[in-house]
Structure 1
Amino acid sequence: MELCIWGDVVISASEMRLITYPYSEDSNQGKQYMNTRCPAWCDRILLSASARDLILKPESEEKSVVYDNIGPNVCMGDHKPVFLSFRVTAGAGKSCQRGEMIFCEAPL
């Protein structure tokens, strides 16, 4: 997916890239890459700039962000799913600067 079409609305967590493709599909080789293609960073977490600012803390603060792949030693096919785990303080962040509603209730 070309992220440039989204402008500054959606960004990739590019500081936290993992090579997640192409893994061998042999069940005995969970960590082995296939020799068919170059390794790639095709499984990513997408964040808004404001969300990224909330979870990526300055170097002086304790890091509580974990970005990794699922099943690093297990064969799962040619891709390894990725996950992002983080803590955010209740009430952290700013209200939406563009005025759009991010969550809304459906009418009854």
Structure 2
Amino acid sequence: MCSEPSRHYAINPHSGKEEFMRTLCPAWADRVLYNDRMDSLFRHDSFCASGLYYGLVGEEVYIGQHKPVALHASICLK
């Protein structure tokens, strides 16, 4: 599996909005985490159609300096 490094994020103290940290390089320091509270953070419209999702967790919320990457796949076993 091939993936790009994730960017560092921070909350801008003036605007209160999340933005890229320009002083740090992208990194492959993604975390593996999942629980019931995280479930809604990585659901995507394309997940239901294809049974596969690969992307950032929590695109709309601040989680930390890195946006963790999620891979979720449905596999049919016979």
Structure 2 unaligned residues grouped into runs of 5+? 33-48
Match of 2:24 among 11, 34, 37: 37
Q: Superposition RMSD on alpha carbons, in Å?
A: 2.7
Matched length: 60
Structure 1 spans left out of the alignment, 5+ residues: 1-12, 46-61, 92-108
Q: Percent identity?
A: 30
- Normalising to structure 1: TM-score of the pair? 0.43
Does structure 1 residue 69 correspond to structure 2 residue 42?
A: no
Amino acid at match of 2:68: P
**Whole-angstrom distance in 2 between the partners of 1:67 and 1:89:** 18
- Rg larger in 1 or in 2? 1
More strand by share: 2
Q: TM-score, structure 2 length as denominator?
A: 0.55
The answer to whether the aligner puts 1:78 opposite 2:65 as a matched pair is yes
Alignment match, 1:24: 10
Q: What is the one-letter code of the residue matched to 1:41? A: W
Match of 1:87 in 2: 74
* Residues 66/89 of structure 1: CA separation in 2 closer, same or farther (3 Å cut): same
> Is the Cα contact below 8 Å between 1:18 and 1:69 reproduced in 2?
no
Note the alpha carbon deviations across 1:53-85, whole angstroms, 9 max, x for none.
xxxxxxxxx953211111112222201122111
For residues 66 and 39 of structure 1, what CA distance do their matches in structure 2 show? 22
